[in-house]
Amino acid sequence: MTFQAPKGTFDWMPPRSEWALIVRDALSAPARRAGYGYIETPAFEDTGLFSRGVGESTDIVTKEMYTFESKGGQSLTLRPEGTASVMRAVLEHGLYGGALPIKLWYSGSYFRYEKAQAGRYRHFSQVGAEALGAEDPALDAELIVLAADGYASLGLKNVRLLLNSLGCKECRPAYRAALQEFLRGLDLDEDTRKRIEINPLRVLDDKRPEVQAQLVNAPLMTDHLCGACKAYHEEVRGLLTSAGLTYTDDPRLVRGLDYYTRTTFEFIHDGLGAQSAVGGGGRYDGLSEMIGGPALPSVGWALGVDRTVLAMEAEGLLTERPGHVEVFAVPLGEEARRRIFPLVAELRRNGVAVDMAFGGRGVKGAMKAADRSGARYALILGDRDIEAGAVQVKDLTTGDQTAVPLAEVVDVLKGKLS
Ligand code: HAM
């Protein structure tokens, strides 16, 4: 019997897996440069954290959670997202009593029982950043700029930024009521009518054309923002522009998690088909209180690693082969293997990426392996070279080959590769 990765999951295999590492590194680098500290939380949490934090009425909580009972009888859930966990950790460790904002970044696996399709997986990877404990439009703008800089550093040209404000606890209730009143007058199916009562904003996000057609004149949050929210949003917009970002105001942008207030945003890539969001986030001023903490206004984002690699592929950016070795050692015979082994170790200690031929496959097989490795140079050692105290350094691009004294080979290769 053989096994396959479960539906909705996949393996990152070399050389493509190198891109996942590159993307994680590039997307987190701007936040690391901006004073965000690394946080790692468990892959599972008390189920209540997500049902209260993410929201009882969201698809994530009602349909997509991997929930199980521990042997001790506790209900646990594989994390579907990172923000609730970060907030839980900050509250648990009492960080809100210190210097604010608390700036944190993370990277890891997340789990949602979604309908599997291209770009939508049941196990996926995010890089996230959160700034907790400050209400300052510059913090919202900072996070958005950091995310945009991360995408740009990967060479991505077609990432668009959508921006919206979802208001606050002062102005949202009146808007919600106005939207509900409008929606109740439409011709909608039973499920959608139920949604009007529980989570009316989600109806705006309905993808069906017959629903969208009826929503043309739906009231928009933008027109119902209170003075404070309006001023806050204007400030965020101005700061984004001042830092050279372009964005599209999208008054219909709705997010799939309940904790958002004020600034919300999404990064979209048009080369990805239906699953076009490569990242998203926003302000969540009420989340701390939702899970039993003090008032702690906060803002953050999570960027999808898997979809960012797909976006790079769509833009033709996965052409070079990352992560390959620079040198490949080919010993011709057992004595040569004994001699070349410590040389390979020495080169690696000097920072050179080296692999060698294993399994005694003969010269032809070994040279084929050298070519396949992507190395620029082969180090070939035969009996005659051993006698001469030298090793052949072959340039695999030009085919040029020179004998280099064993004692000098580390320096010579380092020079060639610098
Ligand atoms: P989210 O929009 O649910 O937000 O996820 C952020 C990103 O993760 C998405 O834009 C997408 O790129 C990726 N993603 C989500 N689900 C999947 C999936 N099933 N397969 C592949 N990629 C996926 C959050 O998770 C919030 N915690 C973001 C946030 C942080 N808000 C404030 N702070």
The CATH number linked to 334 is: 3.40.50.800
- The residue whose CA has the least distance to atom 16 of ligand 1 is 120
* pLDDT score for 34: 98
Q: And the tokens for 332?
A: 């011709």
Q: How many CB atoms lie within 10 A of CB 389?
A: 10
Answer whether 81 contacts ligand 1 (Cβ < 6 A): yes
Query: Do residue 306 and residue 334 come from a single domain?
Result: no
On whether 38 is known to bind a ligand per the annotation, the reply is: no
Q: Is residue 106 part of a domain?
A: yes
Q: And the tokens for 415?
A: 């020079």
CA neighbor of 124 nearest in space, from 156, 80, 60, 64 = 80
Query: Do residue 265 and residue 396 come from a single domain?
Result: no
The CA-atom distances, in angstroms, between 107 and each of 16, 112, 133, 254, 270 are: 19, 16, 21, 24, 24
Q: Where in the sequence is the domain holding 390, given as residue range(s)? A: 327-417
Answer whether 219 contacts ligand 1 (Cβ < 6 A): no
On whether 112 is known to bind a ligand per the annotation, the reply is: yes
DSSP 3-state of 189: coil
Q: For residues 318 and 362, give the distance between their C-alpha atoms in angstroms, rounded to a whole number.
A: 33
Beta carbons of 85 and 76 less than 8 angstroms apart: no
**Angle formed at CA 246 by CA 243 and CA 247, multiple of 5 degrees:** 125
Query: Do residue 56 and residue 155 come from a single domain?
Result: yes
Distance (angstroms) between ligand 1 centre and the Cα of 110 equals 9
The CA-atom distances, in angstroms, between 418 and each of 10, 352, 415 are: 37, 10, 5
Contacts of 101 (CB under 8 A, 6+ apart): 131, 132, 133, 134, 136, 139, 298
Beta carbons of 356 and 331 less than 8 angstroms apart: yes
For the range 405-408, what are the long-range contacts, defined as Cβ-Cβ under 8 Å and sequence gap of 24 or more?
Answer: 406/339, 406/343
Last residue within a domain, chosen from 271, 286, 314: 314
Q: Is residue 60 part of a domain?
A: yes
Q: For residues 256 and 57, give the distance between their C-alpha atoms in angstroms, rounded to a whole number.
A: 10
The CA-atom distances, in angstroms, between 366 and each of 102, 331, 333, 348, 359 are: 54, 8, 11, 20, 9
CATH assignment at residue 290: 3.30.930.10
On whether 122 is known to bind a ligand per the annotation, the reply is: no
Contacts of 387 (CB under 8 A, 6+ apart): none
Last residue within a domain, chosen from 289, 314, 339: 314
Ligand 1 atom with the smallest distance to the CA of 126 is 8
Q: Give the model confidence (pLDDT) of 290-304 as tens digits.
A: 999 999 999 999 999
Q: What share of the chain is helix, strand, coil (3-state, %, to 5)?
A: 40, 20, 35
- Residue ranges of alpha helices (H) inside 70-167 are 83-92, 137-153
Query: Do residue 244 and residue 110 come from a single domain?
Result: yes
Within 13 A of 168's CA, how many CA atoms are on the CB side?
14
Q: Is residue 10 part of a domain?
A: no
Query: Do residue 287 and residue 370 come from a single domain?
Result: no
Q: Is residue 400 part of a domain?
A: yes
- Note down pLDDT in tens along the chain; length 418 residues: 899 999 999 999 999 999 999 999 999 999 999 999 999 999 999 999 999 999 888 889 989 999 999 999 999 999 999 999 999 999 999 999 999 999 999 999 999 999 999 999 999 999 999 999 999 999 999 999 999 999 999 999 999 999 999 999 999 999 999 999 999 999 999 999 998 998 899 899 888 999 999 999 999 999 999 999 999 999 999 999 999 999 999 999 988 888 999 999 999 999 998 899 999 999 999 999 999 999 999 999 999 999 999 999 999 999 887 878 999 999 999 999 999 999 999 999 999 999 999 987 788 999 999 999 999 999 999 999 999 999 999 999 999 999 999 999 999 999 999 8
Query: Do residue 347 and residue 265 come from a single domain?
Result: no
- Whether a cis peptide bond, with omega within 30° of 0, leads into 101 is yes
On whether 384 is known to bind a ligand per the annotation, the reply is: no
Residues in the chain: 418
Query: Do residue 277 and residue 342 come from a single domain?
Result: no
Q: Is residue 200 part of a domain?
A: no
Distance (angstroms) between ligand 1 centre and the Cα of 149 equals 18
Domain count of the fold of the chain: 2
DSSP 3-state of 161: strand
Q: Is residue 194 part of a domain?
A: no
* pLDDT score for 361: 77
Query: Do residue 248 and residue 162 come from a single domain?
Result: yes
Query: Do residue 297 and residue 389 come from a single domain?
Result: no
Query: Do residue 301 and residue 377 come from a single domain?
Result: no
On whether 83 is known to bind a ligand per the annotation, the reply is: yes
Q: Is residue 220 part of a domain?
A: no
On whether 133 is known to bind a ligand per the annotation, the reply is: no
Distance (angstroms) between ligand 1 centre and the Cα of 80 equals 9
Answer whether 306 contacts ligand 1 (Cβ < 6 A): yes
Ligand 1 atom with the smallest distance to the CA of 307 is 12
For residue 185, report the phi and psi dihedrals to the nearest 5 degrees: -85, 0
Last residue within a domain, chosen from 274, 292, 314: 314
Q: Which amino acid is at 356?
A: M
Query: Do residue 371 and residue 406 come from a single domain?
Result: yes
Query: Do residue 135 and residue 248 come from a single domain?
Result: yes
Q: And the tokens for 135?
A: 């209400």
Q: From 81, 123, 132, 298, give the residue whose CB has the most ligand 1 atoms within 8 Å, as the site to mutate.
A: 81
CA neighbor of 357 nearest in space, from 375, 349, 346 = 375
Q: Is residue 208 part of a domain?
A: no
Ligand 1 atom with the smallest distance to the CA of 279 is 10
The residues pairing with 69 across neighbouring beta strands, listed in sequence order, are 75
Write down the pTM of the prediction.
0.94
Q: Looking at 336-412, which runs of residues are DSSP E strands?
A: 354-356, 377-381, 390-395, 401-405
